[in-house]
Amino acid sequence: MGQVVVIVRSRAPAPKGLPPLPAVVEDRSWRQEAKCRSVGPDLFFPKYDDQNDSTRDLVTVRQAKQFCNGENPDWPGVCPVLMECALYAIKNEEMEGVWGGRSERERKRYAAELRKLGLL
Q: Evaluate whether residue 46 is within a structural domain.
A: yes
What percent of the chain has pLDDT above 90? Answer: 29
What is the Rg, in whole angstroms, of the alpha carbon atoms belonging to the chain? 15
User: What is d(CA 82, CA 20) in angstroms, rounded to the nearest whole number?
Assistant: 19
**pLDDT tens by residue, 76-102:** 999 999 989 998 999 888 888 999 999
**pLDDT tens by residue, 14-23:** 445 555 555 5
In terms of Cβ atoms closer than 10 Å to its own Cβ (0-12, 13-18, 19+), residue 41 is exposed
Q: Evaluate whether residue 62 is within a structural domain.
A: yes
Q: Evaluate whether residue 12 is within a structural domain.
A: no
- Asked if residue 62 has pLDDT above 80, the reply is yes
Q: How many CA atoms lie within 13 A of 46 on its CB side?
A: 20
Torsion of CA 80, 90, 107, 16, to 10 degrees: 90
Q: Evaluate whether residue 14 is within a structural domain.
A: no
Q: Evaluate whether residue 18 is within a structural domain.
A: no
Determine the Cα angle at 15 with ends 20 and 30, to 5°. 20
In the chain, how many domains are there? Answer: 1
pTM of the model: 0.70
Q: Which helix H or strand E contains 49, and what residues bound it?
A: strand 48-49
Q: Evaluate whether residue 17 is within a structural domain.
A: no
8 three-class SS: strand
Q: Evaluate whether residue 10 is within a structural domain.
A: no
Domain that holds residue 84: 32-116
Q: Evaluate whether residue 9 is within a structural domain.
A: no
